[in-house]
Structure 1
């Protein structure tokens, strides 16, 4: 379990659970970066995750013809759902995250998460660790990076 914060240190961002970790990120935190650091620090073989909170996401929609994501950034959304997985590619954590959020008029938006900064409040993530190390590789049929389960 990480050390408890002192008056001079930053708050503790995660704790162990029976199935993995509970991570609570605060305003200004980079969610993808924090998840990548957790995967390396705790040597996570692979994991599934869910979350919710407030943030400034950049969603992407996969264009199979160009093999790129068309990005769109949003501010001040309440994340109703965040789900994804952690695996490995080329020796580094490879995240695959999707989310749905709504603005103050309750208009929902969502898609593949390319970036996510925590807004007001926090983002809470439940990370369920798997025993098997999983990796991602490019699917030659469509250029997408997909999870291998062999």
Structure 2
């Protein structure tokens, strides 16, 4: 039997793990910008969105997307441990992907949830921990002009928007 793995709710993400990520501006209305962020084989999505936030002056944003993953890890928050229990998915079709970008400790934080289907059609969901792209992954990101900040909540050891 496989031992359960847990990860911190405040795990830092390094940019630079999505070297083939492409960004296209779709529209700009006032201070609101909408982009298509396109990931290719083996790009890591959370790292790429973190890098996108740094490079495109993102104060806050929300996003949604779809695609496939060669490797996907979701998490379920365990309130007793104050950590995410890792749900390894492996190869999967990501059927829903959504979240936001805010700031914590002067760094952008990507908070995403996803659902994904396995070969047999069973769907699992949770907090996105890691997603290494299959052939493609497409994310529409809407960047807002207002900064949103997070602060570490001591009770849950997780970032909360203030």
Q: Calculate the TM-score normalised by the size of structure 2.
A: 0.80
Runs of 5+ consecutive residues of structure 2 not aligned to the other structure:
1-18, 28-32
Paired positions, count? 138
What is the match of residue 23 of structure 2?
Answer: 14
> Counterparts in 2 of 1:7-46, with a 5 A limit?
13-18=22-27, 19-46=33-60
Residue 140 of structure 1 and its aligned partner are, at CA, apart by 3.3
> Counterparts in 2 of 1:96-111, with a 5 A limit?
96-111=111-126
What is the match of residue 129 of structure 2?
Answer: 114
Residue 44 of structure 1 and its aligned partner are, at CA, apart by 0.4
Instruction: Indicate yes or no: 2:78 matched with 1:63.
Output: yes
Residue 24 of structure 1 and its aligned partner are, at CA, apart by 0.8
Runs of 5+ consecutive residues of structure 1 not aligned to the other structure:
1-9
Q: Calculate the TM-score normalised by the size of structure 1.
A: 0.86
Q: Do the aligned partners of 2:103 and 2:148 also contact (CA within 8 Å) in 1?
A: yes
- Give the ranges of 4+ consecutive aligned residues of structure 1 lying more than 6 Å apart after TM superposition: none
Q: CA RMSD in A?
A: 1.5
d(CA) in 2 for partners of 1:27 and 1:11?
8
**Partner secondary structure for residue 119 of structure 2:** coil
Q: Do the aligned partners of 2:79 and 2:156 also contact (CA within 8 Å) in 1?
A: yes
Residue 142 of structure 1 and its aligned partner are, at CA, apart by 3.0
d(CA) in 1 for partners of 2:21 and 2:74?
28
Instruction: Indicate yes or no: 2:150 matched with 1:136.
Output: yes
Residue 74 of structure 1 and its aligned partner are, at CA, apart by 1.4
* CA-to-aligned-CA distance 1:87-109 (integer Å, 9 cap, x gap): 11111111110000001111001
> Counterparts in 2 of 1:78-89, with a 5 A limit?
78-89=93-104
